[in-house]
Amino acid sequence: MIELIDISKIFNMGKTNEYVALKGINLAVHLNKVTVFRGPSGSGKTTLLSIIGCMARPTSGRIKFLEREITSLPERFLTEIRQKTFGFIFQQLNLIKGITALENVMLPSYPSGERYSSLKKRTMGLFDMFNITDRAEVKVEWLSGGESQRVAIARAMINNPLVIIADEPTAHLDSKLSKEFMGIIDVLKSEGKTVLIASHDPLVYESGVVDRIVDLRDGRVDGAKVS
């Protein structure tokens, strides 16, 4: 379980442009489930996901991951947790242009010191899983929207994380690709992954794959619903 205790996040604290993104969030996120954080722009969805994923620290409050308090860990340990526990799918996909799909997916594992050949073998396994094997050696800028999306998911999966975090994953996809994406999420769920999605797309939160919807508004939890 991921437990959020009284989490607040204030940007530019003490300055004229101070902004309170999260206000005392208390929440328990269950593992092996698909949870959607729903809310309008500026409700704090992305900030909450980045705090859960150890990308940013809360201004106050604590996070417990599998009963272990991780908020106060030094940067190095936090990076290690982020690397091993979380896989990220970004709204803009954030694939690195100019290199192949294969390299993009292998990239998160480069610093781990895993042998290049075994890493490549593992990566090709993911390409097989997502049906994009023949696109492995293609530069990412030549891929279609759907292919890029799968490459981004494969990259999130490369370190075999417990939790997949996706921020507005369907924002730039048409309905067909959005449904395809939720299909992949279903596969990941069946493999025992925990999936956290921030979205205000009905195709996402109305999907049968979703176990729980958490509504956010003005940096607070507005209510939670279990499907």
Partner 1 sequence: MKRWIERQKNIIEFTLSSLIRRKGKNGALIFVYTVVVFMSASVIFFAYSLKKEASIILRDAPEMIVQRMIAGRHELMPISYKEKILNIRGVNDVRERLWGYYYDPVVGANYTLIVPRERALETGKIAIGRGISRARLANEEDTMEFKTYDGSIVDLQVESILSSDSELVSSDLILISEADFRRVFGVPENYATDLMVSVRNQKELPTVALKVAGLMPDTRQILREEILRTYDAVFSWRGGMMLIILSGAILAFIIFAWDKASGLSLDEKREIGILKAIGWETSDVILLKFWEGMAISLSSFLLGTLFAYMHVYFTSSALFEPFLKGWAVLYPQFKTTPYIDASQIAALFFLTVFPYTIATIIPSWRAATIDPECVMR
**Are 163 and 86 spatial neighbours (Cβ–Cβ below 8 Å)?**
yes
Answer for which of 33, 59, 60, 114 binds partner 1 (CB under 8 A) is: 114
Kindly state the smallest distance separating residue 48's Cβ from partner 1, in Å: 11
Residue 127 near partner 1 by CB under 8 A: no
Distance in angstroms (rounded) separating the CA atoms of residues 205 and 189:
15
| DSSP secondary structure code for residue 100 in this structure | B
In which residue are the tokens 């437990």 written? 3
Residue 13 near partner 1 by CB under 8 A: no
Q: Name the token pair of 195.
A: 């999936």
Alpha carbons within 13 angstroms on the beta-carbon side of residue 99 total 10
Residue 74 near partner 1 by CB under 8 A: no
Between residues 18 and 206, which has the closer beta carbon with respect to partner 1? Answer: 18
Kindly state the smallest distance separating residue 58's Cβ from partner 1, in Å: 11
Answer for which of 34, 70, 119, 157 binds partner 1 (CB under 8 A) is: 119
Backbone angles phi, psi at 127, to 5 degrees: -60, -40
Answer for which of 38, 135, 150, 155 binds partner 1 (CB under 8 A) is: 155
Dihedral sign computed on CA atoms, order 29, 200, 217, 56: positive
Site size for partner 1 (CB under 8 A): 35
Answer for which of 15, 76, 137, 192 binds partner 1 (CB under 8 A) is: 76
Residue 116 near partner 1 by CB under 8 A: yes
Alpha carbons within 13 angstroms on the beta-carbon side of residue 200 total 11
Q: H or E stretch including 27?
A: strand 19-29
Between residues 124 and 179, which has the closer beta carbon with respect to partner 1? Answer: 124
Q: Name the token pair of 145.
A: 């929207």
Positions that interact with partner 1 (CB under 8 A):
46-47, 49-50, 55-56, 75-76, 79, 82-83, 88, 90-92, 94, 96-99, 103, 107-116, 119, 155, 159, 167
